[in-house]
Amino acid sequence: MVRKTLAWAAFCFAIAVLASEIWAFGDSGHHVSLNLGDVWRTLSPASYDRTETFLVTKVSAKIWQPGLTTVLAAPVWLALAALGAGIYPWQRRPSRHPL
């Protein structure tokens, strides 16, 4: 039940963010999209910088530059929809033989 609720909440937030972007496009006439990297950088710039520094210096610069930056360029609504679609199939199914 919790997974189903989380999946639907992610879907609802995705629709809300997408509607907000469409509304902003209608008002201003140009497309402004929120992406994951900008949201992360706005909410916690220190953790963003620490993660980038750690991955580039300790692990591999290739993981950060072509890999994670590509994911962080995704729109927030798409990431939330993907999260909901990923969580939804793993909800617990009711038992076929109730006690």
> Which amino acid is present at 29?
G
Contact 79, 18 (CB under 8 A): no
pLDDT (0 to 100) of residue 44: 93
Contact 14, 84 (CB under 8 A): yes
pLDDT (0 to 100) of residue 94: 64
* pLDDT per position as a tens digit, 22-80: 888 887 777 778 888 999 999 999 999 999 999 888 888 888 888 888 889 989 888 88
The span from the CA of 77 to the CA of 81, in Å, is 6
DSSP state of 55: I
All structural domains of the chain with their residue ranges: 1-28+77-92, 35-74
pTM exceeding the 0.75 threshold for the entire prediction = no
